[in-house]
Amino acid sequence: MMLTSIVLAAVASLLPACLAQLASTLEYPVGPLTHSSAKRAVKLCDVTKYGNHTTDLGPSLLAAFNACKAGGVVNIPRGIHQMSTFVTLSGGNAWAINLEGTIERAGNTSGGNMIAIESTTDFELYSSNGKGAIQGYGYQFLANGGYGPRLLRLTNVTSFAVHDIALVDSPAFHLVLDTCSQGEVYNMIIRGANLGGLDGIDVWGFQIWIHDVEVTNKDECVTVKSPALNILVEDIYCNWSGGCAMGSLNAGTNISKIQYSNVYTVNSNQMYMARLFKSNGGSGFVSDVLLENFIGHKNAYSLYINGYWASEAVQPGDGVLYESITFSKWTGDCANGSGRAPIYVDCPASAPCSNITLVGIAIWTDAGHEEHYKCANDIDSHGYCLNRDSAFTPNATITSTVTAAPSGWSAAYMPSDLSTGFATNSSIPVPTVPNTFFPGATPATARAYGR
């Protein structure tokens, strides 16, 4: 597994000492303990042997799982498999799902999860031919002003991987990793409609590596939630999205040792999402966070910390404490840097940010000839409009105006940037998983073809 040690070494002299540990954000192995070929050698449970898998995959999938949950591979072959009975696959060890075809949501169940994996270990969901997909037909709910089921949720899953599949048009969130550990998500594409509430990947847990993923929607791209420890997110392509984020954060927040590297965001709400760290009141802490090597184009906001997000009800507590957070090497452009500051740091006055560092931030505006930076309620912080060790004055906003393009702001583009989002009243086609997710970067893990 290749971490971002080269980039970290290049900027190490600029970063707070407490962030040195992020070079080893993943302190333990991630992914399945047993290769899928070894699992297949134990047992193969093909859904075609367990009922009518084409008109309703659910019962067949559950039966195949029960036959292979002690070790083996559940195989879903090529073709279309409609699914009106949603399933929870609970328990098991050393098993996998090989999805070679497309699972299509059928029926009108409005909540829950199409597929839920719970309380299992040594698990893998993959597509050996790279064509596996789950199609949620979310537009059938969204066009009527409602939401439906999530596509895929993993809860309390240890030593796992999800890779080489497409998640398409979910009626709600696409992929949720709930209290999982020592897992890996990679070589995936997520395509949702242009609407809030259709999150790409939400993750909380311990020791998880998410990399080489493309997300289209108009909400969270890849978001870390509480509690979380040792999460590495890198080579992410937010292609017409809401952008990556951390939150929502409320009472008892506990997030530390988080690293985002190589994140490309285009035509989105933010490079690091609107309400970057989303809290209004609340308690607890976010600490030891590194956000490095971000490229943005045509986004509304860029770097945005908002401790007073008005869209969320006030939570108990004086506010979430943000400490030891570094933003390093951000380049590109924003839509209108005068109307929406590309650097916006507004921490809670009752829990001011501490040791926030901005280094190498070069974002220029697409509209107009100037942009503003705005910062408030930070102490012992450095860079641009941050406090710079001056006396702390609650709610005193430091604003600076930039009238010339900063040096080094120009940044590369991806070849498949979308120029519009996907409608909420028509089906989204199943895409091909791409082979690149960040300009000039090769995916860390080869595609699963030929397994």
Residue 112: name the closest of 135, 93, 84, 139 by CA: 84
Domain range for 299 is 242-415
Look up tokens 């840097």; give the residue: 337
Residue 368: per-residue pLDDT: 95
Residue 4: per-residue pLDDT: 34
136 shares its domain with 194:
yes
Residue 284: per-residue pLDDT: 83
> Mean pLDDT across the stretch 215-232?
95
275 shares its domain with 191:
no
Could you tell me if residue 181 is left (phi over 0), alpha (psi between -120 and 50 degrees) or otherwise beta? beta
Going by pLDDT thresholds of 50, 70 and 90, the confidence category of residue 24 is low
The pLDDT mean for the chain works out to: 89
Residue 176: per-residue pLDDT: 98
- Asked whether residue 22 carries a pLDDT value surpassing 60, the answer given is no
Q: How far apart are CA 364 and CA 382, in angstroms?
A: 20
Residue 289: per-residue pLDDT: 94
137 shares its domain with 64:
yes
- Domain-located, residue 39: yes
Residue 170: per-residue pLDDT: 98
448 versus 209: the higher-pLDDT residue is: 209
Among 164, 219, 235, 378, the one annotated catalytic = 219
- Domain-located, residue 22: no
- Asked whether residue 8 carries a pLDDT value surpassing 60, the answer given is no
Residue 419: per-residue pLDDT: 95
- Asked whether residue 355 carries a pLDDT value surpassing 80, the answer given is yes
Q: End of a domain among 157, 189, 220? A: 220
- Domain-located, residue 189: yes
Of 161-165, 281-285, 353-357, give the range with the top mean pLDDT.
161-165
Q: What is the pLDDT of residues 113-136, one digit of tens each?
A: 999 999 999 999 999 999 999 999
35 shares its domain with 182:
yes
> Mean pLDDT across the stretch 268-281?
66
Residue 53: per-residue pLDDT: 83
- Spatial CB neighbours of 66, under 8 Å, sequence gap ≥ 6: none
- Domain-located, residue 13: no
Residue 389: per-residue pLDDT: 65
Among 81, 174, 297, 372, the one annotated catalytic = 297
Q: What is the pLDDT of residues 286-329, one digit of tens each?
A: 899 999 999 999 999 999 988 776 555 666 667 677 889 999 99
Going by pLDDT thresholds of 50, 70 and 90, the confidence category of residue 440 is very high
Residue 297 known to be catalytic: yes
Going by pLDDT thresholds of 50, 70 and 90, the confidence category of residue 274 is very low
Going by pLDDT thresholds of 50, 70 and 90, the confidence category of residue 49 is very high
Going by pLDDT thresholds of 50, 70 and 90, the confidence category of residue 13 is very low
CA torsion 238→176→233→187, rounded to 10°? -70
Q: Which residues pair with 280 in a beta bridge?
A: 308
Q: What is the pLDDT of residues 91-115, one digit of tens each?
A: 999 999 999 999 999 988 888 999 9
Residue 219 known to be catalytic: yes
Q: How far apart are CA 51 and CA 327, in angstroms?
A: 53
Residue 393: per-residue pLDDT: 83
Q: What percent of the chain has pLDDT over 70?
A: 89
Q: Is the peptide bond before 406 cis (omega within 30 degrees of 0)?
A: no
189 shares its domain with 261:
no
- Asked whether residue 1 carries a pLDDT value surpassing 60, the answer given is no
246 shares its domain with 162:
no
367 shares its domain with 253:
yes
> Mean pLDDT across the stretch 363-384?
94
Would you tell me how many other CB atoms lie within 10 Å of the CB of residue 419? 8
- Asked whether residue 19 carries a pLDDT value surpassing 60, the answer given is no
179, 306, 348, 395 from 279: Cα distances, Å: 21, 7, 9, 16
- Domain-located, residue 327: yes
- Domain-located, residue 5: no
- Asked whether residue 180 carries a pLDDT value surpassing 60, the answer given is yes
289 shares its domain with 363:
yes
Q: End of a domain among 167, 189, 220? A: 220
83 shares its domain with 205:
yes
Which tokens hold the place of 315? Answer: 């939570």
255 shares its domain with 294:
yes
Residue 346: per-residue pLDDT: 87
Q: How far apart are CA 255 and CA 305, in angstroms?
A: 15
Residue 451: per-residue pLDDT: 44
- Asked whether residue 450 carries a pLDDT value surpassing 60, the answer given is no
Q: How far apart are CA 90 and CA 66, in angstroms?
A: 9
Residue 14: per-residue pLDDT: 40
Q: Which residues pair with 166 in a beta bridge?
A: 133, 189
- Domain-located, residue 20: no
- Asked whether residue 23 carries a pLDDT value surpassing 80, the answer given is no
Could you tell me if residue 250 is left (phi over 0), alpha (psi between -120 and 50 degrees) or otherwise beta? beta
CATH number for the domain spanning 159: value is 2.160.20.10
Residue 281: per-residue pLDDT: 62
- Domain-located, residue 215: yes
* CB of 159 closer than 8 Å to CB of 31: yes
Would you tell me how many other CB atoms lie within 10 Å of the CB of residue 75? 21
CA-atom Rg of the chain in angstroms:
22
Number of domains in the chain: 2
Three-state secondary structure of the chain: CCCCHHHHHHHHHHCCHHHHHHHHCCCCCCCCCCCHHHHHHHCEEEHHHCCCCCCCHHHHHHHHHHHHCCCEEEEECCCEEEECCCEEEECCEEEEEEECCEEEECCCCCCCEEEEEEEEEEEEEECCCCCCEEECCCHHHHCCCCCCCEEEEEEEEEEEEEECCEEECCCCCCEEEEEEEEEEEEEEEEECCCCCCCCCEEEEEEEEEEEEEEEECCCEEEEEEEEEEEEEEEEEEEECCCEEEEEEECCCEEEEEEEEEEEEEECCCEEEEEEEEEEEECCEEEEEEEEEEEEEEEECEEEEEECECCCCCCECCCCCEEEEEEEEEEEEEECCCCCCCCEEEECCCCCCEEEEEEEEEEEEECCCCCEEEEEECEECCECCCCCCCCCCCCCCEEEEEECCCCCCCCCCCCCCCCCCCCCCCCCCCCCCCCCCCCCCCCCCCCCCCCC
35 shares its domain with 177:
yes
Q: What is the pLDDT of residues 379-409, one digit of tens each?
A: 889 999 997 666 778 888 899 999 999 999 9
360 shares its domain with 403:
yes
- Asked whether residue 21 carries a pLDDT value surpassing 60, the answer given is no
Would you tell me how many other CB atoms lie within 10 Å of the CB of residue 277? 26
Q: Is the peptide bond before 248 cis (omega within 30 degrees of 0)?
A: yes
The amino acid that residue 343 corresponds to is I
> Mean pLDDT across the stretch 171-188?
98
Give per-residue burial for 195-205: e unless 16+ CB within 10 Å, then b.
Answer: bebbbbbbbbb
